[in-house]
């Protein structure tokens, strides 16, 4: 993913054709063809003709402007929300993960970079002035990978500088990439967390096309820590398969061996969950994958999950490893029900997080 | 166009190039034609030797059933292209007909055969047929339309695109087995059947034949093939559910057994979330007097004392060891 050689074409919204960032990106990606468009729909009309429009949408770059960047993370109805906010300077992702919700969430969205990032400065100031939440977490990895397009856009570096020294706010940059060299030329900031989504080698190889291996991710995290950044990890989605227990345990042990607890901001755990629409798309796009064929039960929010006893077993298995390293306080569950949270907290948090399960709110 | 009366014998029924509707004439239409004749003329084109039906298949079939020898027809000038005529047939039905997926598949396939490009289909027709306007929809429906033998079942079952997509992922001989086993089930049941078979096949990494030959499944498949009633097929569905959801099925089975041990008066009910997402019990009851409430409270107390409710809570909080 470093050579940007997967990009076949660049579309530029006519409104931003004179933006310096547009000029920089185009010259950097020469000789990739460039086409001016008036509207996103023009690109979508071309994507529709591809045999796999989603795969195609990951091969074209759209440089445009966005009206607003900061949004609350939608969580899931019935789940305990963690109060996360997203800042979306880019949309869609060049990686192709079989479980990725963006396949169902976007309607043919090309890899999109908002080149009017300067507008975020005033939006962020107004947002922070209007919020009373303490321990606010805001991140870029929800609608795209935080670092996959960094070599092209430089947006992560921009965000680090923008958030530097902002008290009571954590900026999280979440990725499945390993290339962080450009960030290492920027001084670290206490409130900026570099985060990696982690999975077992088997799952990454089969289900996360184009992403870095677990070892590469951990090595990059180690470098980030050496540079002074705090880091976070997201075991999400945890996939149940024959051998999961041993392989996930190895990844957790590997993480705790390399990353000192003091540098670890948080670790989230979340088992596979998805709406029916995603399964329909993914089964077609990833016929080799069998993650959708385990015992999965449809919940009241319409999403499929492993049965609750199995989810608890999975969470507890991983939590025991962190417990053994005094790290269970760093754990939280993503998009889980109050029932599962309660059970998990009783076993791993000595009951102290029942009122507010998220330690950054304390 | 010339309006004239034509003999049914002059129609070449083997030429179905413009046919995309799959409904058979019902009793009402036949009765109406018997009593009043065919009022609305059909559209035909002449190939010099016989007439080819462009629209009105159901009406013509009903007329035959009603014993008519001649029907009114509008004869279309021979210079019209097949694409023009098929468009005419489509637009005649489009405003008033809720096309099934099987019919939509035939429409797409025929438009392509008559020379419409995928771009034109995407632009003009797919959204109007409530289909995703993408190239892959065309590919999928063209493939579906080629399964002539399955289209009547797919039509009757009012399948959705997602069901068809899964169905097409099976091998040809497996598709025949699915259609046979799924006959007489309603749409939701057919969709569930295909979903369960797909899941088991992929999970176990075996062919459909192996799944249908499993000890618990085979007798039900054989019974389903013998019986026209859906009972055997419903039992088969239930057995497949059990195979697909072993953990949830087992806990639910134990819960049902434990619930049967609870003694409560007739107008009260103890229940739980069968998806097992919640670990709580729900009690609903109807009472007209305070005595009835007292009786229920007493019965609950007795069940608590005997540890019967602990069994239920134990199951709802069951942990997996291995």
Kindly report the CATH number assigned to the domain that includes residue A175: 3.80.30.30
pLDDT at A349: 77
Q: How confident is the model at residue A107 (pLDDT cuts 50, 70, 90)?
A: confident
Q: How confident is the model at residue A131 (pLDDT cuts 50, 70, 90)?
A: confident
What pLDDT digit, counting tens, does each position of A31-74 carry?
Answer: 999 999 999 999 999 999 999 999 999 999 999 998 899 999 88
For residues B233-242, average pLDDT: 95
Q: Is residue A18 part of a domain?
A: no
What pLDDT digit, counting tens, does each position of B10-35 carry?
Answer: 999 999 999 999 999 999 999 999 99
Which residue blocks in chain A are alpha helix, DSSP H?
Answer: 20-28, 40-47, 53-57, 102-105, 120-130, 150-153, 155-163, 201-207, 214-227, 244-258, 276-285, 308-324, 338-348
- Range of lowest pLDDT (A81-90, A97-106, A273-282, B170-179): A81-90
Residue of B nearest to A295 (CA): B245
For chain A, positions 50-79, list CB contacts with chain B under 8 A.
50-53
What percentage of chain B exceeds 90 in pLDDT? 89
**Whether residue A359 has pLDDT greater than 90:** no
Number of domains composing chain A:
1
Q: Specify whether the CB–CB gap between B188 and B182 falls below 8 A.
A: no
CA neighbours closer than 13 Å in the CB half-sphere of residue B138? 26
**Whether residue A19 has pLDDT greater than 90:** yes
Q: Is residue A11 part of a domain?
A: no
Taking the C-alpha atoms of residue A12 and residue A326, their distance in angstroms, rounded to an integer, is 50
Contacts of B199 in chain A (CB under 8 A): 292-293
Asked if A53's CB is within 8 angstroms of B136's CB, the reply is yes
**Whether residue A12 has pLDDT greater than 90:** yes
Domain span at A115: 64-361
Asked if B277's CB is within 8 angstroms of A51's CB, the reply is no
Collapsing DSSP to helix, strand or coil, A348 comes out as helix
**Whether residue B305 has pLDDT greater than 60:** yes
pLDDT at A41: 96
For residues B257-273, average pLDDT: 90
Q: How confident is the model at residue A362 (pLDDT cuts 50, 70, 90)?
A: low
Q: Torsions phi, psi of A123, nearest 5?
A: -65, -40
| All residues at 6 or more sequence positions from A58 whose CB lies less than 8 Å from its CB, including other chains | A6, A92, A93, A94, A95, A96, A111
Interchain contact A339–B (C-beta under 8 A): yes
Q: Is residue A24 part of a domain?
A: no
What pLDDT digit, counting tens, does each position of B83-114 carry?
Answer: 999 999 999 999 989 999 999 999 999 999 99
Q: How confident is the model at residue A353 (pLDDT cuts 50, 70, 90)?
A: low
Q: Is residue A49 part of a domain?
A: no
| All residues at 6 or more sequence positions from B274 whose CB lies less than 8 Å from its CB, including other chains | B248, B252
**Whether residue B322 has pLDDT greater than 70:** no
Q: Is residue A257 part of a domain?
A: yes
Residue to test with chain B: of A307, A337, A340, most B Cβ within 10 A: A307
- Range of lowest pLDDT (A71-80, A102-111, B71-80, B151-160): A71-80
Q: Is residue A6 part of a domain?
A: no
- Range of lowest pLDDT (A134-138, A255-259, B270-274): A134-138
Asked if A339's CB is within 8 angstroms of B277's CB, the reply is yes
pLDDT at B263: 82
Q: How confident is the model at residue B120 (pLDDT cuts 50, 70, 90)?
A: very high
pLDDT at A3: 53
- Range of lowest pLDDT (A115-119, B191-195, B261-265): B261-265
Q: How confident is the model at residue A352 (pLDDT cuts 50, 70, 90)?
A: low
Q: Is residue A193 part of a domain?
A: yes
Q: How far is B322 from chain A (nearest CA, A)?
A: 9
| All residues at 6 or more sequence positions from B11 whose CB lies less than 8 Å from its CB, including other chains | B44, B50, B51, B52, B53, B60
Q: How confident is the model at residue B231 (pLDDT cuts 50, 70, 90)?
A: confident
Interchain contact B35–A (C-beta under 8 A): no
Quote the ipTM score. 0.89
Q: Which domains does chain B have, with CATH numbers?
A: 1-81 (3.90.1530.10), 184-244 (no CATH), 247-316 (no CATH)
For residues B178-192, average pLDDT: 92
Collapsing DSSP to helix, strand or coil, A332 comes out as strand
| All residues at 6 or more sequence positions from B52 whose CB lies less than 8 Å from its CB, including other chains | B11, B12, B15, B17, B18, B44, B45, B46
**Whether residue A355 has pLDDT greater than 60:** no
Tokens of A125: 């100031």
Asked if B276's CB is within 8 angstroms of A297's CB, the reply is yes
Q: How far is B274 from chain A (nearest CA, A)?
A: 10
Collapsing DSSP to helix, strand or coil, A161 comes out as helix
Q: What is the mean pLDDT of chain A?
A: 92
Residue of B nearest to A336 (CA): B277
Q: How confident is the model at residue B79 (pLDDT cuts 50, 70, 90)?
A: confident
């Amino acid at each position: 993913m470093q050579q940007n050689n997967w990009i076949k074409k660049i579309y530029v919204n006519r409104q931003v054709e004179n933006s310096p960032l547009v000029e920089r990106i185009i010259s950097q990606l020469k000789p990739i063809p460039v086409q001016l468009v008036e509207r996103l729909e023009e690109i979508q009309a071309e994507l529709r003709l591809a045999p796999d429009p989603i795969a195609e949408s990951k091969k074209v770059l759209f440089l445009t402007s966005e009206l607003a960047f900061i949004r609350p993370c939608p969580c899931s109805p019935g789940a305990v929300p963690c109060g996360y906010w997203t800042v979306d300077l880019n949309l869609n992702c060049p990686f192709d993960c079989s479980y990725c919700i963006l396949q169902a969430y976007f309607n043919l969205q090309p890899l999109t970079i908002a080149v009017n990032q300067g507008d975020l400065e005033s939006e962020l100031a107004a947002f922070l002035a209007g919020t009373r939440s303490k321990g606010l977490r805001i991140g870029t990895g929800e609608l795209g990978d935080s670092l996959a397009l960094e070599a092209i856009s430089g947006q992560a570096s921009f965000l680090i500088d923008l958030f530097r020294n902002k008290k009571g706010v954590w900026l999280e940059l979440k990725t499945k990439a390993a290339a962080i060299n450009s960030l290492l030329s920027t001084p670290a900031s206490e409130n900026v967390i570099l985060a990696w989504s982690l999975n077992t080698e088997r799952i990454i190889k089969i289900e996360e096309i184009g992403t870095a291996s677990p070892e590469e991710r951990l090595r990059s995290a180690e470098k980030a820590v050496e540079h002074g950044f705090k880091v976070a990890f997201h075991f999400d989605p945890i996939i149940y398969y024959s051998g999961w227990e041993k392989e996930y345990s190895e990844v957790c042990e590997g993480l705790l061996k390399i990353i000192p607890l003091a540098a670890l901001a948080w670790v989230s755990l979340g088992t596979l969950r998805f709406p029916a629409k995603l399964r329909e798309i993914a089964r077609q796009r990833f016929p080799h994958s069998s993650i959708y064929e385990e015992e999965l039960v449809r919940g009241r929010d319409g999403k499929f999950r492993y049965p609750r006893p199995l989810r608890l077993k999975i969470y507890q298995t991983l939590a025991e490893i962190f417990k053994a390293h005094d790290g269970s306080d760093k754990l939280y569950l993503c998009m889980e029900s109050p029932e599962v949270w309660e059970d998990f907290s009783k076993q791993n948090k000595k009951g102290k997080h029942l009122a507010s399960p998220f330690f950054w709110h304390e | 166009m010339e309006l004239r009366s034509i003999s049914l014998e002059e129609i070449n029924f083997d030429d179905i190039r413009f046919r995309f509707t799959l409904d058979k004439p019902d009793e009402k239409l036949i009765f109406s034609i018997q009593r009043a004749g065919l009022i609305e003329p059909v559209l035909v084109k002449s190939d010099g030797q016989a007439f080819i039906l462009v629209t009105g298949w159901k009406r013509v079939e009903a007329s035959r059933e009603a014993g008519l020898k001649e029907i009114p027809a509008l004869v279309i000038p021979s210079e019209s292209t097949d694409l023009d005529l098929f468009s005419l047939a489509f637009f005649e039905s489009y405003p008033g007909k809720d096309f099934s997926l099987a019919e939509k598949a035939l429409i797409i396939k025929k438009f392509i055969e008559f020379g419409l490009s995928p771009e034109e289909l995407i632009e003009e027709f797919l959204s109007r047929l409530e289909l995703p306007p993408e190239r892959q929809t065309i590919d999928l429906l063209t493939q579906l339309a080629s399964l002539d033998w399955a289209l009547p079942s797919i039509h009757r079952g009012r399948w959705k695109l997602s069901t068809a997509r899964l169905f097409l992922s099976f091998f040809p001989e497996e598709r025949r087995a699915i259609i046979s086993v799924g006959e007489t089930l309603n749409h939701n049941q057919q969709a569930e059947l295909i979903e369960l078979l797909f899941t088991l096949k992929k999970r176990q990494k075996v062919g459909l034949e192996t799944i249908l030959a499993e000890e618990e499944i085979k007798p039900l498949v054989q019974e389903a093939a013998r019986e026209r009633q859906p009972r055997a097929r419903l039992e088969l569905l239930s057995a497949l559910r059990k195979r697909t959801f072993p953990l949830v099925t087992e806990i639910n089975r134990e819960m049902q057994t434990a619930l049967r041990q609870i003694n409560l008066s007739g107008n009260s009910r103890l229940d739980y979330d069968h998806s097992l997402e919640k670990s709580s019990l729900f009690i609903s009851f109807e009472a007209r007097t305070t005595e009835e409430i007292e009786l229920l409270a007493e019965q609950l107390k007795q069940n608590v004392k005997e540890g019967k409710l602990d069994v239920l809570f134990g199951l709802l909080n069951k942990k997996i060891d291995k």
